[in-house]
Amino acid sequence: MSALAPLLTSRWGNERAWTLDAYQRTGGYQALREALRMEPAEVLNTVKDSGLRGRGGAGFPTGVKWSFLPPPDGGPRYLVVNADESEPGTCKDIPLMMADPHSLIEGIIITSYAIGCHHAFIYLRGEVVHVYRRLLNAVTEARRAGLLGSSVMGSGYELELTVHAGAGAYICGEETALLDSLEGRRGQPRLKPPFPAVAGLYARPTVVNNVESIASVPWIIAGGADWWKSMGTEKSTGVGIYSLSGHVVRPGQYEAPLGITMRELLELAGGVRAGHRLKFWMPGGSSTPMFTPEHLDVPLDYDSVVAAGSMLGTRALQCFDETVCVVWAVSRWMDFYAHESCGKCTPCREGTFWLRSVLRRIEAGLGRPEDMQILQDIPNSIVGRAFCPLGDGAPSSLTSSLKFFYDEYVQHIQLGGCPFDHKASYLFEAVTA
Amino acid sequence: MSTPDLVACTIDGIEIEVPKDTLIIRAAEEAGIMIPRFCDHPLLKPVAACRQCLVDVASPAGPEGKLRAFPKPQPACAISVTPGMVVNTQLSSEAAKNAQEQVAELILINHPLDCPICDKGGECPLQNQAMSTGRSVSRFEDKKNTFPKPLALTPQILLDRERCVLCQRCVRFAAQIPGDPFIALQKRGANQQIGRFDPSVLGVAETAGQLADQTAGDIPAICGEPFAGYFAGNIIQICPVGALTSAAYRFRARPFDLVSTETVAEHDSNGSAIRVDYRRGTVLRRLAGDDPSLNQEWISDKDRFAFRWQAAPDRLERPLVRQGDQLVEVSWPEGIRAAVEIFDSATNPAVLPGGRLTLEDAYAYSVFARTVLGTDSVDFRARPSSHEEAQFLAHFVAGAGLGVSLDDLAQAPAVLLAGFEPEDEGGIIFLRLREADTKVYSVAPFASRGLRRLGGKLLRALPGGEASALDALSSAADGPRAEAAAALKGGVIVVGERLASSPGAYTAALAAADRLGARLVWIPRRAGERAAVEAGLLPGLAPAGRSLDALADDVAETVFGGPMGLTPGLDLPGIIAAAQAGSVDAVLMGGLELADLPDPRAASAALNTAKVVALQVRGDSISPWADVILPVAPPQEKAGTFINWEGRLRPFPQVLTSTALSDARVLQVLADQLGFESRIGELATSHQVFGWLGKPSARRAAPAVAPRAPRPLGAGQAVLSTWRYQVDDSAALDGEPYLAASAPAPVARISAVTARAVGVRQGDYLNVSTSGGTITLPVAIDDLPEGVVHLPAKSPGSWTLVTLTATDGDLVGISAAHGPKEVAR
């Protein structure tokens, strides 16, 4: 298994791929036509049968999530698409929405039809203004074409779609914080239960799904559950977008069946930059434990990665060669988590603040031997103590780096500074003021 | 065996049964186990933010009910116990203990550890839990987060952000309890902080000016308003660290130097449970007490902060006697002698005891008037009043015992308010109605901010037109009235003292209660009014609801020491008129202010004519009129019993050591000197009398007053709507500038239509005039009926009785003013 399987990314290179015309010329909205001929329950069951798992990181079966909605009671129920892609290294939803927004909209219409939703939302990371414009345009096009509005494709099924730009907070990628933010409140995670399926947006039954999950739905409807299951592994079906970044020759999005290995992906991407070798890599974004070259043959599906000690996350494969100081890299990530901690719970708020303080001190050559104990203890004070999973993920890079590169930390402390030449790792000319 | 409503679980090996839906942290308390916590508060919804209460939890799962443990420790404050749940706290689980210690370490890294100079030091949950759960030595040696301090959230509440552990109790209180969401979490991560709308903190200084423009006047905007509700002070008390302090108490004392006494607050008719803390004879602060059936753990800011009046600079220590133009300080025997001379030579004395008395003192005035002075001219109502109201009180309130309770009110299917603003005139009643989400209707000219926060429905009535509005409540009426009529079956109608200015309203309220199958309750503002009614401080009314003229001789013997045979007395307006005319020649006065009387100017003239003996805590307000002033004790220097509006006895002990005498004791001395042997000064007597008398066998006649016909308004005329705001120019706030500064800004409310007719806009100034004078205030456009103007009754620049000699329902003139004017008090 080594071939790429471009589905979600198949249109990205087309001429003006983001327009309705271009989308429809390549079979766009055919799956929707098919879905509208089916009963909603049939659509739901097809997605359930396909084994599609959430592409936002947690990997929960998408169809099962839909089926958690209580039976209709006459009141509104909502679909909210989580497009708040903010994890360092993660870069799949934004190019998808940029290049092929209609595939997401088609997925939203089909999903809304399946779950009985008449008003769907896309919660978009606010910084990506260009994507926001693309989405707004695409929604306008779809509405004009009768794909949204009072009668979708003349079927009598009614759907409104609202695109909402967030204000730039990592926490708003957490589904309940996202819902609070969408309601106009401060984005902080909610106490569960009640879960969004029971009381989500405006306290009504709500499905929150990742962009890539929803964009996969038209493919599943068009090709059928069995076809989808024929790709990937038994428990991680279908294809997914792998985003390679860092010290690789051809960084970018590679769409492949789940279960492909890093070794295969690296080959496709032209390998690590010339003259260098891989030191460590992140399998699923900066909140998943790091891997080393010894993990190159781990199948990149949900369960194999967990078995190997990390998480598939968002398949954001960041590659670092031997020029990179792991303390430096981890310290930058900790800056991110300290800055993005929402502040609601003590462990994440104070723990990331403390870890950032210690890591910066070690980097600056002011580390002390007792800091090594603190670096090992504080992650334990955060993981399993924090309010939401984002806190649990915050120290992953640190903990795993200590597992593989403990000596590098000790070296910083003993030397009173960093033994690496940071400029050697730059992929671009260093700018000196 | 569990009963259906109880859930059996095991906590640290202790098997207990608790009601369904009990949180683990509460269940553990039942078992005597204290789980450390910060954000948890029993009266607030769980938030599970601080993570200090993590415990190990396992529940039976699967068909065989095998215990399955949660993979990680769970917050005890947010999870309800389920049948068979096994909880292991820090006492029996190493993992839970470890988790709690980890969180405690993190909580403290950014805390300044300035306990030696912190108000909370010595009574601080953080300090206690740092001792029980924290490390003895900190491992954190990096730079702590610092903030400029303090930040003033309100004039009286200051925030030290460094000390804050971000438990959000204050924010949740503000949003959940009074519904004053003017503080919020701001920023994020370690920079997260509590704050009000502060452009310099939020970094929006440039746009703040525009915001201020948009919220000019009195538009109740959430954004940019100061955090200043009537209940804000509660956040100081529930703060689990020393982050929130009060401007008046900050740095004044250490908790371990204070002596605490549980007592009862004197500022409204609820009789809220409070705790008074004093040191070396000086009261330094008051806190909410804990009375689940009354004020729960909340009190109004007035009950919390307004206590310095009791030790104000004009506090009297010795009697004063008039010599020429001057009041001269004399010894007690001289003062008593001077008072005795006045009463000995009086031919037609009268008694104005005021509405703030304890039952004991009220009873003493009642007996003193009828036996020693031989007069029935006695009226406690130091406010606008009516004959209809006196009839209503004698018929419905006096001797009725316990009636509608606050619990009843909160749990009623619906509550109708008439002449009663729930927040300004109800205090903690507002909080209970809001907490219970009770369905509320209000007969009022407009929906006040308090009513809106209760989600209450307005049944619009012109001031003075409440009677017609009450009469119109029936299933045959239009929409909201029919809805209210139906909802009130088994509900409660609340009537406030303001209905005294609305002819026929009490008559209509009695009829409405009867017609709709609702219960009725009278809720006055002042702490002593219910006791005054019970003691018979109205003409013709004997204690315990008996009629004075029909009092059997043996009962009269018991109460008064002999048969009565008094001529029917005068009420307060009658007494003032008679004194002005010279027929009432001596007046015995208790604690009241002339500015609160219906016609302060007439009262002043009358008291200048008659001889006045006044029993006063303080001297200033009464001095110009009195001939003899005998000092009496404020509540904190005597024991006594308030009767709250429910009819519940609220006994309180003497807090401070004092030589000051209660009113009853002074009246006893006067009676002795005047040659009477009534035993009015003894604490026990008044209580015994009520026991002897039992309930009255026959109700006195109900009032039967017809509603006032609608009055046509001339050009530039309006009907005045007015009531006392909870925080205003009350003498109770003397010495407490921080609280006074949190009062709502006085504005004149009119409708847009009325404003156009007068030619004013939002923020312009409006003149409100009578022949007595003019009040000038900024205009606030609100949803009022056409031709109605609302003013605060006694707020800065707006003393309606003093300036206008007008009250709720009276006609006033309105016109555009050309600028702010200095209005003399």
- pLDDT tens by residue, B589-630: 998 889 999 999 999 999 999 999 999 999 866 567 899 999
Helices (H) and strands (E) in chain B, counts: 25, 35
**In angstroms, what separates the C-alpha of A83 from chain B's closest C-alpha?**
21
Mode of pairing for the β-strands spanning B794-795 and B798-799: antiparallel
- Asked if A352 reaches chain B (Cβ–Cβ under 8 Å), the answer is yes
The pLDDT score that the predictor gives to residue B478 is 77
The pLDDT score that the predictor gives to residue B493 is 98
- Across chain B, which distance is largest between two alpha carbons, in Å? 96
Mutant choice from B37, B40, B45, B51 vs A, greatest count of A C-beta within 10 A: B51
Contacts of residue A341 in chain B, CB cutoff 8 Å? 188-190
Contacts of residue B192 in chain A, CB cutoff 8 Å? 342-343, 349
Residue A267 to residue B382: CA distance in whole angstroms? 93
Q: Which of A350, A370, A381 sits opposite B110 (nearest CB)?
A: A350
- Across chain A, which distance is largest between two alpha carbons, in Å? 72
Chain B residue with the nearest C-alpha to that of A392? B72
Task: Count CB neighbours of B476 within 10 A.
Answer: 8
Mutant choice from B106, B162, B167, B169 vs A, greatest count of A C-beta within 10 A: B106
Find the mean pLDDT for residues B721-741. Answer: 93
The pLDDT score that the predictor gives to residue B624 is 77
- pLDDT tier, B200 (very low <50, low <70, confident <90, very high otherwise): low
Whole-Å CA distances, A216 to A6, A36, A212, A225, A299: 12, 17, 6, 11, 21
* Residue B212 or residue A417, greater confidence: A417
pLDDT tens by residue, chain A, 433 residues: 456 889 999 999 999 999 999 999 999 999 999 999 999 999 999 999 999 999 998 899 999 999 999 999 999 999 999 999 999 999 999 999 999 999 999 999 999 999 999 999 999 999 999 999 999 999 999 999 999 999 999 999 999 999 999 998 999 999 999 999 999 999 999 999 999 999 999 999 999 999 999 999 999 999 999 999 999 999 999 999 999 999 999 999 999 999 999 999 999 999 999 999 999 999 999 999 999 999 999 999 999 999 999 999 999 999 999 999 999 999 999 999 999 999 999 999 999 999 999 999 999 999 999 999 999 999 999 999 999 999 999 999 999 999 999 999 999 999 999 999 999 999 887 666 5
- Give the residues across from B7 on adjacent strands: B18
* Rg of the Cα atoms in chain B: 29
Helix axis angle for A101-115 and A40-50, nearest 10°, is 120
The pLDDT score that the predictor gives to residue B368 is 92
Residue B530 to residue B398: CA distance in whole angstroms? 8
Taking CB atoms and an 8 Å limit, are A385 and B51 in contact across chains? yes
At A146 the three-state DSSP class reads coil
Q: What percent of chain B has pLDDT over 70?
A: 90
pLDDT at B221 over 70: no
The pLDDT score that the predictor gives to residue B695 is 67
- pLDDT tier, B154 (very low <50, low <70, confident <90, very high otherwise): confident
Q: Which of B52, B72, B189 sits opposite A353 (nearest CB)?
A: B189
Find the mean pLDDT for residues B418-425. Answer: 96
Mutant choice from A170, A336, A348, A350 vs B, greatest count of B C-beta within 10 A: A350
pLDDT at B822 over 80: no
Taking CB atoms and an 8 Å limit, are B107 and A350 in contact across chains? yes
* Residue B318 or residue B679, greater confidence: B318
The pLDDT score that the predictor gives to residue B685 is 63
Give one DSSP letter per residue of B457-509, joined into a string: EEEE--TT-HHHHHHT-STTS-HHHHHHHHHTTT-EEEEEGGGGGSTTHHHHH
Model confidence over B471-509: pLDDT tens digits?
A: 999 877 778 899 999 999 999 999 999 999 999 999 999
Taking CB atoms and an 8 Å limit, are A349 and B47 in contact across chains? no
ipTM of the complex: 0.95
pLDDT at B697 over 80: no
Taking CB atoms and an 8 Å limit, are A385 and B99 in contact across chains? yes
Hey, what CATH topology would domain B6-108 get? Answer: Ubiquitin-like (UB roll) (3.10.20)
Model confidence over B52-78: pLDDT tens digits?
A: 999 999 999 988 889 999 999 999 999
- Provide the Cα torsion A347, A350, A351, A352; round to 10°: 120
Find the mean pLDDT for residues B7-36. Answer: 97
- Give the residues across from B118 on adjacent strands: none
Chain B residue with the nearest C-alpha to that of A335? B189
Model confidence over B555-566: pLDDT tens digits?
A: 666 667 666 678
Residue with tokens 């006791």: B531
Taking CB atoms and an 8 Å limit, are A345 and B50 in contact across chains? yes
The pLDDT score that the predictor gives to residue B406 is 97
pLDDT at B709 over 70: yes
pLDDT mean across residues, chain B: 91
Find the mean pLDDT for residues B567-575. Answer: 94
The pLDDT score that the predictor gives to residue B211 is 44
Q: Which of B51, B142, B189 sits opposite A343 (nearest CB)?
A: B189
Peptide bond into B150 cis (omega under 30): yes
- pLDDT tier, B824 (very low <50, low <70, confident <90, very high otherwise): very low
The pLDDT score that the predictor gives to residue B227 is 54
Taking CB atoms and an 8 Å limit, are B49 and A346 in contact across chains? yes
pLDDT at B456 over 70: yes
Chain A residue with the nearest C-alpha to that of B96? A385
The sheet with strand A206-210 has its strands ordered as A160-165, A119-124, A78-83, A206-210
Peptide bond into A71 cis (omega under 30): no
Whole-Å CA distances, B195 to B157, B168, B170, B219: 12, 11, 10, 21
Contacts of residue A338 in chain B, CB cutoff 8 Å? 189-190
- Give the residues across from B588 on adjacent strands: B351, B613
Q: Which of A188, A344, A358 sits opposite B142 (nearest CB)?
A: A358
The pLDDT score that the predictor gives to residue A344 is 97
- Asked if A380 reaches chain B (Cβ–Cβ under 8 Å), the answer is yes
Give one DSSP letter per residue of B428-456, joined into a string: HHHHHHHHHT--EEEEESS--HHHHHTT-
Residue ranges in A269-310 assigned as alpha helix (H): 302-307
Mode of pairing for the β-strands spanning B14-19 and B74-75: unpaired
**In angstroms, what separates the C-alpha of B413 from chain A's closest C-alpha?**
25
Hey, what CATH topology would domain B390-526 get? Answer: Dimethylsulfoxide Reductase; domain 2 (3.40.228)
**In angstroms, what separates the C-alpha of B222 from chain A's closest C-alpha?**
13
Taking CB atoms and an 8 Å limit, are B49 and A345 in contact across chains? yes
- Cβ neighbours of residue B761 under 8 Å, at least 6 residues apart? B755, B779, B781
**In angstroms, what separates the C-alpha of A121 from chain B's closest C-alpha?**
25
Find the mean pLDDT for residues B732-740. Answer: 91
- pLDDT tier, B209 (very low <50, low <70, confident <90, very high otherwise): very low
- Asked if A177 reaches chain B (Cβ–Cβ under 8 Å), the answer is no
Write down the CATH number for the domain with range B717-817. 2.40.40.20
- pLDDT tier, B745 (very low <50, low <70, confident <90, very high otherwise): confident
Contacts of residue A339 in chain B, CB cutoff 8 Å? 189
The pLDDT score that the predictor gives to residue B219 is 36
Tell me the torsion sign for CA atoms A12, A14, A16, A19.
negative
The pLDDT score that the predictor gives to residue B621 is 60
Task: Count CB neighbours of A199 within 10 A.
Answer: 17
- Asked if A246 reaches chain B (Cβ–Cβ under 8 Å), the answer is no
Residue with tokens 């604690």: B591
Tell me the torsion sign for CA atoms A225, A226, A231, A233.
positive
The answer to whether B287 and B710 are in contact (CB under 8 A) is: no
Write down the CATH number for the domain with range B320-388+530-691. 3.40.50.740
Find the mean pLDDT for residues B400-427. Answer: 95
Residue B764 to residue B745: CA distance in whole angstroms? 14
- Give the residues across from B749 on adjacent strands: B780, B790
Taking CB atoms and an 8 Å limit, are A387 and B72 in contact across chains? no
The answer to whether B418 and B513 are in contact (CB under 8 A) is: no
Mutant choice from A331, A385, A387, A388 vs B, greatest count of B C-beta within 10 A: A385
Hey, what CATH topology would domain B115-124+140-310 get? Answer: Alpha-Beta Plaits (3.30.70)
Model confidence over B326-381: pLDDT tens digits?
A: 899 999 999 999 999 999 999 999 999 999 999 999 999 998 998 899 999 999 99
Highest mean pLDDT among A329-333, B192-196, B199-203, B566-570: A329-333
Taking CB atoms and an 8 Å limit, are A341 and B139 in contact across chains? no
The pLDDT score that the predictor gives to residue B35 is 98
Q: Which of A339, A378, A387 sits opposite B48 (nearest CB)?
A: A387
| Domain boundaries of chain B, sorted by first residue | 6-108, 115-124+140-310, 320-388+530-691, 390-526, 717-817
Strands (E), B552-708: 586-589, 611-616, 628-631, 640-643, 649-652
- Of chain A, the end-to-end C-alpha distance in Å amounts to 48
The pLDDT score that the predictor gives to residue B754 is 96
- Give the residues across from B663 on adjacent strands: none
Taking CB atoms and an 8 Å limit, are A349 and B78 in contact across chains? no
Closest to B628 (Cα-Cα) out of B659, B601, B607:
B607
Give the rounded distance of the alpha carbon of B792 from its chain centre.
17
- pLDDT tier, B682 (very low <50, low <70, confident <90, very high otherwise): low
The pLDDT score that the predictor gives to residue A260 is 96
The pLDDT score that the predictor gives to residue B349 is 97
Q: Please count the residue pairs, one from chain A and one from chain B, whose beta carbons lie less than 8 angstroms apart.
A: 96
Tell me the torsion sign for CA atoms B453, B456, B462, B466.
negative
At B274 the three-state DSSP class reads strand
Interface of A with B in 314-343 (CB under 8 A): 338-343
Whole-Å CA distances, A13 to A7, A18, A96: 12, 10, 11
The pLDDT score that the predictor gives to residue A353 is 97
Taking CB atoms and an 8 Å limit, are A352 and B191 in contact across chains? no
The answer to whether B350 and B569 are in contact (CB under 8 A) is: yes
pTM given for the model? 0.93
Query: Residues in chain B whose beta carbon is closer than 8 A to a beta carbon of chain A?
Result: 46-52, 54, 71-73, 78, 99, 102-103, 105-107, 109-110, 139-140, 142-143, 145, 165-166, 184-185, 187-192
Q: What percent of chain B has pLDDT over 90?
A: 80
Taking CB atoms and an 8 Å limit, are A340 and B189 in contact across chains? yes
The pLDDT score that the predictor gives to residue B208 is 45
Query: Are B390-526 and B717-817 equal in CATH topology?
Result: no
